[in-house]
Structure 1
Amino acid sequence: MKKDIFKIKRAEIFFIFLIMSFNSLYSQVVSLETLLREMTDREAMSEFPVPFYTCRQFSSYDRASVIPGQKSWFANWDRNMFIREEINRGKKEYVLMDAKGPGAIVRIWMTFAGKDAGRGILRIYLDNYSTPVIEGDALSIISGGQLVEAPLSSSVSDLTVYGMRGHNLYLPIPYAGKCKITYESDNIKSMGAKSGEEEAIYYNINYRTYKTKTQVKTFEAAQLLTAKKLRDTTQKKLRDKDVPISQEMKKDTLKGLIPVSENLNLTIQGDHSAIRKITIKMNAENYEQALRSTIIHISFDAHKTISCPIGDFFGTGYKIRKNNSWYTRIEEDGTMSCYWVMPFKKKCDILLENRGYQDIEIDHAEIITSPYKWTKNTMYFCSAWKQYSFLRTGEMKNNEGDGSPFDINYLNLKGKGIYVGDCLTLFNTVYAWWGEGDEKIYVDGESFPSHFGTGTEDYYGYAWCRPETFTGHPFIAQPDGSGNFDPGYTSNVRFRSLDAIPFKKLFKFDMEMWHWTKAIINFSPITFWYVCPEDVKNIPGSNLLDASFPVAMRREDLVSPVMINNKIEAENMILEKKTGGNFRYSNNIKKGWSNNVLALWSDMEPADSLSLSFISNEKMKSDIVIKFSKGPRYGTFKVSVNKQNYVVIESFNEQDTIGEQRLKDLDINRGKNFLHIEYLKHENKNENKNQFGIDCIEFFNH
């Protein structure tokens, strides 16, 4: 009898525990206030979310993108792609988002083009209300301060003309039942805005959806006043980005020389602790190479979860570029800091490895830890890096998907965790935009990505491929955009806050490589996420072999200017000097150009000159044949190699074709040689014939 009573009581206790757990789970009311607090709680990111939510995205991606493998998968009419049209109160509204709750909008990015761009009416309807809770012209709402000030509402870059900025709203907008966002404009004429004569709207909206019985307090406009104190506190924290210092914090340091192929290491013991901040300053003769070839390895409780080039880990790639975000800070003197919370139960091992060809001096490294309350939801911090070296980008693209774009994988994961951000560094080698491609993020085995974007720059918060820098925003940055339109280096950053992406079993992140033209580039993403302890064994490693490669500092580091098989392509030559006009590379598979690429000089004035160089591995006497493009816009030019045997080339022709000009008995140097071109004014002064297109040079040795 006593055993039966004990069994009954034990069952009752277990039942009460289940009820308490259930009530605890669903008694957490999600509101504007809780979301604002979560946004500035770095520690919250290290716990698997309770209550659980999914994060998805509505966007204006091209709806022709349906089946992977088909060229339409890369279709690029990614504007004015709405869910549907509606008539509300006698007005036509285009629906951008329609989602059932409970949920919350956590990020809106938009940009616009065309007549009165962005001045249409944006409306946000919550639950079953026919009257919008938010209404106004889109630019005022997203970045113009109608709801909140920066950084929760901002446009980037400040250096960019306003109409070509990306506009970002990070104010969380929770809803209990459902959410619908619409846009009203008389200037919209069609899906895709293909005519180019109408307003074009590009948008990405990230939103959370919570489990069905999660309690969510629907946003009301009045809360912007009632929660003003918390809102102001949040804004200040996001602007200042400081890490609170407490007496419980412990400081460990690391300093010393790291010879080639050796390392420097530190072990931190701590019962239920977490890294709160890492700061490193290093010295090397070739500093850029040191940022890439010095590897930071971090293990938590004997599980290695981080093995990355040190510069990429801190979000600056292989060039120091000043930035101050919520999770990283880069100073002009090379001091690098990060503020990710990295929990561990017993110990943390940090190892700095020199995989380069020069000694590295760690001038100062400081790791700050403090106690951490480990729970059943606590996760380990992870990071992985990869480089797609000497990547060939395909041919000239069009918006239908021709030109062979393809998907590049940022990350593939198995297990349970949460994705929290990424940085991208690359080196572009042509005078064309490299990042037209869209992000495609698949969560837990989705057959179609729940995040399908509208362009790489849109993903990173800016717009229109603009090269202007922006730093200081808590979650997005372009510390360097030099390589956006020209050969050079680009660095982009996106850290996630409320738009972090939880996953329970699988996570896949692809980014389209949709470079507008044919090129060879280096493309290096680094990714950040947290993983549950039981899945730490599934962490993918970094491909560190490429970290030892020389970093690209000049175009010729990726595109060889050396004559091969008695031929040099014009696009492989080095641009030495240009006194006027525009220089670029034109890519077309139908023109008959060698390698489908032409080096094109245009819009110059009489007497302007251009100097290109190439390298020969031997000294020789040679005839050469210069192949060039002829057509209606091509003019008259004086050409020589190494200042020998100047010839006049007339490249005007009624139809596009290929011309040839032979130069005889030239001395070709071992090493660098120069092709010099001077523009001569055309006889007919009214004709605009000021282009010269160089295809290649062929050599015929004596």
Structure 2
Amino acid sequence: MKKRVLIQILVSGIFTFCFSQEKLTYPDLVKRLYDMEYLATPPEHGEQSGNFSSFDRSSSYNPKTETYDRWEAGNDGTGYIRKEGNGIVVFEKDGPGVIWRVWSALALSGHIKIYVDHQKQPIIDMSFSDFFEQINEDGIELPKELPGYPSINLPNLMPTLSRGRNRFIPIPYQKHCKIVLEKEWGMFYHITYTTFPEQQVNLPYFDGIHRKDDCITLAEADRVLVNRGFTRKQYSRETIKQKNIILNANQDENVTTIQGNGAITHFNIKYEENIYQYEADREELLKNVWIRITWDNDEKEAVLAPLGMFFGTYPDVYPNRTLPIGALPGYLYSNWYMPFSEAAKIELINKGDGRHNLDYEIAHIGLEKSADQLLRFHAKWHKGKFRHEVQTQGRDIDWPLLVTKGKGRFCGVTLHIQNEWEEPEKEAVNWWYGKYAASNIWWWWGEGDEKFYIDGEKFPSTFGTGSEDYIGYAWSAEPAFPLFDSGFASQPFTAIDGNGHTIVSRFHISDNIPFQESFTAVIEKYKDDKWGDKERGCTHCPNICLYQAVAYWYLSPGQSDAY
């Protein structure tokens, strides 16, 4: 009898385990790249995301003294886990998991080899440079008349952003994954990943070959990303609210309050270009008109930010399109998915002396299931709040992007840098201020690494190699300085000579960072707010380097943030 009961328990447990698993196909993973709704899903225990990078390994945490040693170390191009044969191991993680993004500042001829599930043969073995151009397609043979394969032609999934090579092609593994870079591979790498709880997710087996359905889904994803900002996901049951708003000086306006159980799926703000034909008028709009959103019956708003920073454009309207937000002449848009269970209150606040005439459009849907089970969207502007709390124990160089408690997902940031300096006495021999060793001033603001601490960890599970590397571009201290946008990152403006304003955005959609209890994101800021003869601790300080940011993240219903 006891044996029969035990067998029944085991069979029942196996059945429950199999039944409760979410089974994902490879096309499902590709669709996660642009699935805005998934961001509102509460993270399961055991769901973790992070980044393996070539950061300087001399940066360390000393548990005995509880201090951080050489935290500003900047030799970030060649760090690795260990040597193995003729190469270096740069990624090693138990599964089940997915690699979402690989980035490099310099991808050369040395091979990348990706091993999954402890297999002896790699499922991917190609030059690192080809890795950012190619995928292994099933049944394809190189024509005899061609000396090599042309690019796979998925430019929005494999964008080159101002020298930075990016690859958003999912690589799933079930038990284990190891990546080796062989001699002459190049310099600098980031590999972002998510580990899923085995009892919750059943990932597809991947042998490195993309079959017909995989290729078609990748092409569809590339098309979604190229059309970002021009089109959006539309719902058959959506309701669209439109309103013209006159905002007088120092006035608050309740745009709308949506009652019920639902989600905002899109909103945009339009303005007449002929009314805002001068740069000063556009700056007034972007700086002094703020958006405030409050969910349900919360006492505190979850969204509070000036329009420019929220939509990733400041101090002017710089045309750019990313998947979540963007700015076009006369048009600012958001595609963040924003659930609510009782109400959503949207307000505009005019903190300036100007008068503004705006058109507002909101698309929202009703939800069949209670939004009590979904996360709430948050976005807050700041100029370094929690700086003193973060800059302790040897971490003086860290500038806080987000410090929050609760359960949720970190989904990105817009960062504005005002970096201005006096003209050097010595004229440069080339460009405006020289290049490489010929520079006549070290003006570059972006050496700082991003670091993400999840649930109180002492050493960050994400440790980057430079601010521009985090965004997705590279070598950005050296001219020329192009502008760019893409599905997940943008630099819609930087001064053509570097001296002035820069605004950048980076978004984590598939590679969002889940947390259960707390999350802290920082980025190193090498230059003090005032700098001159020294970047930090100067005695002659005629120059400035000022940061402001908007962080985007999700928290459980009823959990407030400290901004």
TM over 0.5: yes
Determine helix, strand or coil for the equivalent of 1:458: helix
Q: 1:266 aligns with which of 242, 247, 255?
A: 255
Cα distance in 1, alignment partners of residues 17 and 314 from structure 2? 45
The answer as to 2:98 corresponding to 1:100 is no
Q: 1:415 aligns with which of 394, 406, 413?
A: 406
The answer to which structure has the higher strand fraction is: 1
Q: 1:531 to 1:129 in 2, by over 3 A?
A: same
Between 374-383 and 47-56, the greater mean CA deviation after superposition? 47-56
Q: 2:290 aligns with which of 295, 303, 307?
A: 295
Deviation for aligned residue 1:19: 7.7
- Give the aligned partner of residue 498 of structure 1: 510
Q: Does structure 2 retain, via aligned residues, the 8 Å contact 1:325–1:471?
A: no
Cα distance in 1, alignment partners of residues 11 and 283 from structure 2? 61
The answer as to 2:457 corresponding to 1:459 is no
Q: Does structure 2 retain, via aligned residues, the 8 Å contact 1:267–1:347?
A: no
Deviation for aligned residue 1:43: 1.1
Cα distance in 1, alignment partners of residues 508 and 98 from structure 2? 15
Cα distance in 2, alignment partners of residues 20 and 289 from structure 1? 61
Q: 1:462 to 1:365 in 2, by over 3 A?
A: same
The answer as to 2:461 corresponding to 1:450 is yes
- Give the aligned partner of residue 332 of structure 2: 336
The answer as to 2:342 corresponding to 1:346 is yes
The answer as to 2:522 corresponding to 1:510 is yes
Q: 1:83 aligns with which of 81, 84, 88?
A: 81
Q: Map of 1:602-613 to 2, 5 A cutoff?
A: none
Deviation for aligned residue 1:247: 4.1
Cα distance in 2, alignment partners of residues 383 and 174 from structure 1? 31
- Give the aligned partner of residue 427 of structure 2: none
Over alpha carbons, which structure has the higher Rg? 1
% of aligned pairs identical? 28
Return the letter of the residue paired with 2:327.
I
Q: Does structure 1 retain, via aligned residues, the 8 Å contact 2:48–2:513?
A: yes
Give structure 2 stretches of 5+ with no counterpart. Answer: 1-8, 138-151, 388-393, 422-440, 528-533, 537-542
- Give the aligned partner of residue 557 of structure 2: 533
The answer as to 2:102 corresponding to 1:118 is no
- Give the aligned partner of residue 471 of structure 1: 484
What do residues 668-693 of structure 1 show as CA deviations (whole Å, max 9, x unaligned)?
A: xxxxxxxxxxxxxxxxxxxxxxxxxx
Q: 1:15 to 1:309 in 2, by over 3 A?
A: farther
Determine helix, strand or coil for the equivalent of 2:159: strand
Between 516-525 and 57-66, the greater mean CA deviation after superposition? 516-525
- Give the aligned partner of residue 206 of structure 2: 219
Deviation for aligned residue 1:351: 0.9
- The number of equivalent residue pairs is 483
- Give the aligned partner of residue 418 of structure 2: 427
Cα distance in 2, alignment partners of residues 224 and 385 from structure 1? 44
Cα distance in 1, alignment partners of residues 321 and 88 from structure 2? 37
Determine helix, strand or coil for the equivalent of 1:286: helix
Deviation for aligned residue 1:66: 0.6
Determine helix, strand or coil for the equivalent of 2:283: helix
Determine helix, strand or coil for the equivalent of 1:357: coil
Q: 1:293 to 1:62 in 2, by over 3 A?
A: same
Give structure 1 stretches of 5+ with no counterpart. Answer: 1-13, 158-164, 188-198, 392-401, 542-702
Q: Map of 1:286-325 to 2, 5 A cutoff?
A: 286-303=281-298, 304-325=301-322
Cα distance in 2, alignment partners of residues 379 and 439 from structure 1? 25
Deviation for aligned residue 1:69: 5.6
Deviation for aligned residue 1:405: 6.2
- Cα RMSD of the aligned pairs, angstroms, is 2.7
- Give the aligned partner of residue 158 of structure 2: 153
Cα distance in 2, alignment partners of residues 71 and 487 from structure 1? 32
Deviation for aligned residue 1:252: 1.4
Cα distance in 1, alignment partners of residues 306 and 42 from structure 2? 27
Cα distance in 1, alignment partners of residues 60 and 208 from structure 2? 38
Determine helix, strand or coil for the equivalent of 1:61: coil
- Give the aligned partner of residue 36 of structure 1: 30
The answer as to 2:215 corresponding to 1:228 is yes
Q: 1:361 to 1:458 in 2, by over 3 A?
A: same
What do residues 280-311 of structure 1 show as CA deviations (whole Å, max 9, x unaligned)?
A: 12466632132112111011113320011111
Q: 1:120 to 1:200 in 2, by over 3 A?
A: closer
Q: 1:492 to 1:334 in 2, by over 3 A?
A: same
TM-score, with length taken from structure 1: 0.65
Cα distance in 2, alignment partners of residues 505 and 416 from structure 1? 5
- Give the aligned partner of residue 169 of structure 1: 167
Determine helix, strand or coil for the equivalent of 1:227: helix
Q: Map of 1:275-674 to 2, 5 A cutoff?
A: 275-282=264-271, 286-303=281-298, 304-331=301-328, 333-362=329-358, 364-372=359-367, 373-375=369-371, 377-388=373-384, 406-430=397-421, 432-465=443-476, 468-482=481-495, 486-515=498-527, 517=535, 519-534=543-558, 536-537=559-560, 539-541=561-563
Cα distance in 2, alignment partners of residues 106 and 82 from structure 1? 19
Deviation for aligned residue 1:324: 1.1
Q: Does structure 2 retain, via aligned residues, the 8 Å contact 1:275–1:341?
A: yes
- Give the aligned partner of residue 578 of structure 1: none
Q: 2:241 aligns with which of 224, 237, 252?
A: 252
Cα distance in 2, alignment partners of residues 497 and 41 from structure 1? 7
- Give the aligned partner of residue 189 of structure 2: 203
Determine helix, strand or coil for the equivalent of 2:129: helix
Determine helix, strand or coil for the equivalent of 2:304: strand
Cα distance in 2, alignment partners of residues 407 and 123 from structure 1? 34
- Give the aligned partner of residue 176 of structure 2: 178
Q: Does structure 2 retain, via aligned residues, the 8 Å contact 1:405–1:514?
A: no
Between 284-293 and 338-347, the greater mean CA deviation after superposition? 284-293
What do residues 410-451 of structure 1 show as CA deviations (whole Å, max 9, x unaligned)?
A: 111110001111111111113611010001100011010000
Cα distance in 1, alignment partners of residues 211 and 130 from structure 2? 16
Return the letter of the residue paired with 2:550.
I
Q: Does structure 2 retain, via aligned residues, the 8 Å contact 1:435–1:513?
A: yes
Q: Does structure 1 retain, via aligned residues, the 8 Å contact 2:43–2:516?
A: no
Higher RCO (Cα < 8 Å, 6 or more apart)? 2
What do residues 595-641 of structure 1 show as CA deviations (whole Å, max 9, x unaligned)?
A: xxxxxxxxxxxxxxxxxxxxxxxxxxxxxxxxxxxxxxxxxxxxxxx
Q: 1:502 to 1:33 in 2, by over 3 A?
A: same
What do residues 234-273 of structure 1 show as CA deviations (whole Å, max 9, x unaligned)?
A: 2211222332334422121232321221122123334221
The answer as to 2:58 corresponding to 1:53 is no
